[in-house]
Amino acid sequence: MEFMIFTATTTDGTQIQDITARAGVFNQEEVDSVPEMFNEYLTLGAEGSGYHFIVYRDGEQVLGFAIYGFRDLTDGVYDLYWIAVDPNARRKSVGRKLLTACEEAVRAEGGRIMIAETSGTAEYETTREFYVSMGYVNEASIKDFYSVGDDLMIYAKRI
Amino acid sequence: MEFMIFTATTTDGTQIQDITARAGVFNQEEVDSVPEMFNEYLTLGAEGSGYHFIVYRDGEQVLGFAIYGFRDLTDGVYDLYWIAVDPNARRKSVGRKLLTACEEAVRAEGGRIMIAETSGTAEYETTREFYVSMGYVNEASIKDFYSVGDDLMIYAKRI
């Protein structure tokens, strides 16, 4: 398989931010968290910041990005912090390829478990189905976590 | 009730580190994480660092400490990052008083849920019993999280 997936560089910043804003499901606080993480990643590097940014690029155009990182104090647990695809680039399996690339990188680093946390609301149904289709299992949930009526759903995949 | 509980200050650092090291159950990586968090707390403040440090003091002596902080992107969820009591100061309810003080502070800030994550191993049985006795419920678990055979147990209390 050939992926058009690269480690993110400075010039990807604007397009990453743009995709996040146009994805539709994220609130302002969530949207704002991405440039913060990206700045830390650029300044401190992936290891130093704990944020590994990867992008799916088609020529110069970024069609999606993902952020994963090691969970401190564990033996081989990694969190998928973010995965987002340009709404105009659906049906190209960009999300699947990004997540697969994250998992391969984590496996190469000796990771055992990938965790994806998401919301239990109807708005995130497609996201949850995506994780399940990628082999993730909803191993744990916390009711009313993000807010009342908005549960935390923890998906895990043994990789 | 009268608590001898204070916001931690610079001079508490050495005793906090000492209690962590002598508590017995924490590994080196966990022990090392405390001074790192404490430095961030001193440098950036509780709000800036996200780490609220409180100590139980008897005169000049620190008998225990706790660290709690707001979980980003939630509406009112707080994590109890650390709670540790000097092994020579058992039976004074230091842990109960520290945790109660964390909960009261969180409630005052409008928090809804306190989360305490711990290990499922036999070594942490007393810790888990402590949380249950304080009204926490093991709402979720992830098998083999910290390492193979060492599950993550998530305790939550609606406060």
pLDDT of residue A3: 54
The H-or-E segment that residue B82 falls in is: strand B77-85
pLDDT, tens digit, for every residue of A85-121? 999 998 889 999 999 999 999 999 999 999 999 999 9
- The residue among A118, A142, A158, A159 with the most chain B CBs within 10 A of its CB, best to mutate, is A142
CA distance A9 to B102: 41
Higher pLDDT, B91 or B77: B77
The residue of B112, B152, B157, B159 whose CB has the most chain A CBs within 10 angstroms, and thus the best one to mutate to test that interface, is: B152
If one counts the domains in chain A, the total is: 1
Question: B140 falls in which pLDDT band (50, 70, 90)?
Answer: very high
pTM: 0.90
Type and span of the H or E element at B137: strand B137-147
* DSSP characters over A55-78: EEEETTEEEEEEEEEEPTTSSSEE
Per-residue pLDDT at B124 exceeds 60: yes
Q: How far is B138 from chain A (nearest CA, A)?
A: 10
Enumerate the residues of chain B whose CB falls inside 8 A of the CB of residue A148.
75, 112
Average pLDDT over residues B106-132: 97
Of the candidates A27, A140, A19, A38, the residue with the CA atom closest to the CA atom of residue B73:
A27
Using one digit for the tens of pLDDT, what is the confidence trace for B31-74? 999 999 999 999 999 999 999 999 999 988 999 999 999 999 99
Q: What share of chain B has pLDDT > 90, as a percent?
A: 91
> What range defines the domain where residue A113 resides?
5-158
Residue pLDDT, tens place only, A47-82: 999 999 999 999 989 999 999 999 999 999 999 999
B154 touches chain A (CB under 8 A): yes
Q: What residue type is assigned to position B98 of the chain? A: L
Neighboring chain B residues of A30 at a CB cutoff of 8 Å: 73
Q: What is the CATH number of the domain that holds A25?
A: 3.40.630.30
